Amino acid sequence: MPRSVAVLGLVSFFMDVASEMVYPLLPFFLTVVLGAGKETVGLIEGLAEGTASLLKVVGGRLSDRLGVRKPFLIAGYGLPALVRPLLALAAHPWQVLGFRLLDRTGKGLRTAPRDALIADVSHEADYGKAYGLHRALDTLGAAIGPLLAFALLPLLGYRGVFWLSLLPAAAAAGVVVLFVRERRVPPAREPLLAAVRNPPYLRFLLASAVFTLGYVSVAFLLLRLGELGLSPRQTTLAYAGYNLLYAALAYPMGTLADRLGPRRATALAMGAYAAVFAGWSLAPGAAAGLALFAGYAAFIALFEPARRAYLAQVAPERERAGAIGLFHTVEGVLLFPASAVFGWLWQAHGHVAAFGLAAGLALAGAALLLRPPR
């Protein structure tokens, strides 16, 4: 495994520890400490995630045009570290909005160049393992961050936890500056839309778009666990267990993706998602819900490295970061209506209809991906 892949995994580990120390506390900080309403929480999160989604294609395209990756990683990881005091000192909701916008700007700038760099330094036959290792370390940080916040909140309060999150964020930026090495790529001159017009990329984009319309937030699974009888505290522990299982399985699942081939492995993961969501619609109790949650962790441990590996394969090499960024921007734009429709369907017609629709869309995405080219 190339050294840069492990280093980037370590960077993501530190940044996810920092981010997940803050993220679960923000809604309560806004409503309890700053007196904001729930609509303000929704507005801030919507604007923040929309910013990240739209900037992924921008960061990727600029990386290709300049033929460099590392400066975008320095900016993408350094900016969230620099603006953390803005959150710790916030006295008004608009200051929290400023932090979230700048934090998500960093994520938008770094995502596509980082994923492109992993592909740049790895052998194509090992893309699954490379992305699997990265996702394993990333998710391990996502599991540790909330546990640290849970333990430290009674001792330090909200602002103390926010200040402390500066340490892992600074560590992430420092590792990028000192240890990340990139392989320079020729600057891209062709317009992005012309470059990504190759059939395998477009087919994957279409199949992923259909799948994404049924690919909803894990928050809905936590809500379903609550309906099946778990308390909020038990649900929190189940979420931590999900992240740990995901982290443990990501590298072996990435290896499996290399053996099966990333396209087949991605379609298999979509089929697994359909099976798990069909199970969620029929789960009789909490034990079944926990088993399905473990199944969901196994799905995403295969899905994330497999689809990233296949995306790296079908993206034109000289426009790789831009093509990856465009993919993630399209996905980010579609995730909002996917969750909105899922939530409305659950409220209006029950969980069976909502989970059933998601399962059907996942099967349709898998079928499109496996359909032989004409």
- pLDDT tens, position by position, 344-365: 888 888 889 989 999 999 999 9
**CB neighbours of residue 3 within 10 Å:** 11
**What structural domains does the chain harbor?**
1-178 (1.20.1250.20), 195-374 (1.20.1250.20)
What's the DSSP call for residue 187? Answer: P
Contact 254, 133 (CB under 8 A): yes
Task: Write down the residue that tokens 């995901």 correspond to.
Answer: 246
Distances in whole angstroms, Cα of residue 99 to Cα of each of 25, 58, 139, 316, 355 = 14, 20, 23, 35, 34
Distance CA 112, CA 115 (A): 5
Residue 183's pLDDT is: 78
Q: Cα-Cα-Cα-Cα dihedral of 122, 171, 248, 126, to 10°?
A: 0
* Helix spans in 36-126 (H): 38-66, 70-82, 84-88, 93-121
pLDDT band at 18 (very low <50, low <70, confident <90, very high): very high
Other C-beta atoms lying within 10 Å of the C-beta of residue 57: 24
Q: What are phi and psi of 371, to 5 degrees?
A: -60, 130
Q: Which residues contact 284 (CB under 8 A, 6 or more apart)?
A: none
Cβ atoms of 6 and 59 closer than 8 Å: no
Written as six digits, the tokens of 240 are 């931590």
Could you tell me the two tokens for 141?
A: 């940080």
* C-alpha–C-alpha distance, residues 52 and 75, integer Å: 14
Q: How far apart are CA 156 and CA 272, in angstroms?
A: 42
User: Residue for token digits 């909330």?
Assistant: 146
User: Whole-angstrom Cα distance, residue 60 to residue 325?
Assistant: 5
Quote the pLDDT of residue 248. 94
Cβ neighbours of 276 (radius 10 Å): 24
pLDDT of residue 230: 81
What span, in angstroms and rounded, lies between the C-alpha atoms of 284 and 228?
Answer: 8
C-alpha count within 13 angstroms, C-beta hemisphere, residue 219 = 6
Q: Is the C-alpha dihedral spanning 332, 291, 9, 260 positive or negative?
A: negative
Distance CA 309, CA 134 (A): 12
Residue 374 pLDDT level (bands cut at 50, 70, 90): low
Radius of gyration of the chain (CA): 20
**In this predicted structure, what is the pLDDT of residue 42?**
64
CA angle at 32 for the pair 138 and 224, rounded to the nearest 5°? 55
3-state secondary structure of 200: helix
pLDDT exceeds cutoff 90 at 281: no
pLDDT class for 225, splitting at 50, 70, 90?
Answer: confident
- pLDDT for the residue numbered 263: 94
Q: What is the pLDDT of residue 131?
A: 94
- What is the tens place of the pLDDT at every residue in 307-345? 999 999 998 888 888 899 999 999 888 887 888 888 888
Query: Does residue 230 sit in helix, strand or coil?
Result: coil
